[in-house]
Amino acid sequence: MVFGGNTTCLQLESELIPELLIVDCGTGLRNLGNKLHASRSGNKGRIFITHPHWDHLQGFPFFKPFYDAESWFRVYLPPQDGAGCKEILQGHMSNTFFPVTIDMLEADMNCETFHPGKINFEGFSVDYMWAKHTVQTAMYKFEIGGKVIVFAPDNELPIDDEPSTKKFIADFQEFVANADVLIHDAQFNFKQHQKRQGWGHSCWENVIDKTKGLGIGKLLLTHHDPDSSDKYLAELDKRVKNEFGTEFEEISFVKEGQDMLLPIE
């Protein structure tokens, strides 16, 4: 109820960007769509999806602006072993799983397979590196008016000492260094992670260990384990603030509906 019953969905807003900018389509997308639909018709936006796991797509069919003929959306997804964005979404919304297929959505829609590399749009740019996850998953880096926001909700920072791990951590650190905001996977604690290595998620202890000292402004820990209670996460939130509050401008476990203001000088 406090730290998030909905699955992953993030909205970025800036007066520099003329369109909606949404990242991931977990169940949180439904609330966002209801809010947008109630305030206006003809929503226009770009949606970046990190990967097609259910918890990042389940809100997609329930996004009201998709059912508005005046809306316009472009959806981006990294390639999935040869399958493109349209095929993945068509599969997700095939009539075995949902009564409305993607071609029945009324908005002007286009699904684009987004290969690694930086793209510039009006008011922002987006780049990504591959996460360590169980499918091809992006860690997106957005730059808006000189502010850098990295979004990595599903990424395993391994706890072993293999040479490939060292290389991955070095590349990751280079990618996230000096970000104003890093929103990162912290599903497990260290003890849980030891039993779940290779599941594609990180433990909060290792995320802090690998990101401190890199000039990161705010570290936001997300993708909580479904079995983590509000009480448990509130205690952890307090603990990381006490122990690591000087390492970052802000460090916290992300809450449901959390807003953050990032002034552009």
Nearer Cβ to Zn ion (55/237): 55
Judged by CB under 5 A, the chain residues 147 through 186 that form the site for Zn ion are 154
Q: Where are the alpha helices (DSSP H) in 13-139?
A: 28-39, 85-92
The tokens for 225 are: 């384990």
Nearer Cβ to Zn ion (53/64): 53
Contact flag: residue 132 with Zn ion (CB under 5 A)? no
**Cα maximum dimension of the chain:** 53
The least CB distance from residue 56 to Zn ion, in Å, is 6
- Contact segment (CB under 5 A) with Zn ion among 52-60, 75-83, 118-126, 188-196 equals 52-60
CA distance 258 to 231: 17
The least CB distance from residue 116 to Zn ion, in Å, is 18
Q: Where are the alpha helices (DSSP H) in the chain?
A: 28-39, 85-92, 163-176, 190-195, 204-211, 230-244
CB atoms within 10 A of CB 170: 11
Strand order in the sheet with 20-23: 10-12, 20-23, 44-48, 72-77, 108-113
For 118, 210, 214, the CA distances from 115, given in Å and listed in that order, are 9, 27, 27
The least CB distance from residue 263 to Zn ion, in Å, is 30
CA distance 30 to 63: 5
Contact flag: residue 237 with Zn ion (CB under 5 A)? no
CA distance 92 to 66: 15
Contact flag: residue 55 with Zn ion (CB under 5 A)? yes
Nearer Cβ to Zn ion (101/136): 136
Nearer Cβ to Zn ion (119/135): 135
- Contact pattern for Zn ion over residues 11 through 50, marking x by CB under 5 A: ----------------------------------------
The least CB distance from residue 60 to Zn ion, in Å, is 14
Nearer Cβ to Zn ion (11/136): 136
Nearer Cβ to Zn ion (17/221): 221
Strand pairing report for 119-121 and 108-113: unpaired
CB atoms within 10 A of CB 1: 8
- Contact segment (CB under 5 A) with Zn ion among 61-69, 90-98, 123-131, 146-154 equals 146-154
- Name the closest residue to Zn ion (Cβ): 53
Contact flag: residue 53 with Zn ion (CB under 5 A)? yes
| Interacting residues toward Zn ion by CB under 5 A | 53, 55, 154
